[in-house]
């Protein structure tokens, strides 16, 4: 059983599922996908991307120069997709268990 993924990591990986993104694109996508619950700061994001790259969960897709500044794009690796799928399944199991217990603890409708 693997350790639970931190929420920012979950949203960073989720932001990279559909396409490679540069840092600001990851920040925007994570905020949008999490419905505003996760607001990544640039320093936090780049430290996380470095860590995730070292773990083999993301990789540099390409670099380009925009207005004289380098812009690095990151993509989800197969290992990152597998880790995200595992975490998604873990969260679904947890939610299912909690829902089942909540529903069982509530009395049903009264019949007259």
Cβ neighbours for 72, distance < 8 A, ≥ 6 positions apart:
22, 23, 60, 62, 63
Residue 105: the pLDDT is 78
Residue 110: the pLDDT is 52
Q: Is there a contact between 75 and 20 (Cβ–Cβ < 8 Å)?
A: yes
Q: Is there a contact between 59 and 74 (Cβ–Cβ < 8 Å)?
A: yes
- If you average pLDDT over every residue of the chain, what do you get? 92
Residue 2: the pLDDT is 67
pLDDT category, 3, cuts 50, 70, 90?
confident
109 pLDDT higher than 80 = no
pLDDT category, 108, cuts 50, 70, 90?
low
Mean pLDDT of 96-107: 86
Write out pLDDT tens, residues 39-76.
Answer: 999 999 999 999 999 999 999 999 999 899 999 999 99
pTM given for the model:
0.87
């Amino acid at each position: 059983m693997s350790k639970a993924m931190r929420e920012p990591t979950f949203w960073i990986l989720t932001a990279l599922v559909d396409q490679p993104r540069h840092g600001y694109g990851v920040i925007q996508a994570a905020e949008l996908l999490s419905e505003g619950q996760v607001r990544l700061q640039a320093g936090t994001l780049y430290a996380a991307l470095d860590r995730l790259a070292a773990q083999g969960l993301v990789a540099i897709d390409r670099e380009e120069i925009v207005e004289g500044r380098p812009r690095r794009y990151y993509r989800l690796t197969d290992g990152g997709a597998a880790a995200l799928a595992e975490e998604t399944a873990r969260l679904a199991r947890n939610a299912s268990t909690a829902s089942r217990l909540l529903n069982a603890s509530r009395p049903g409708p009264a019949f007259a």
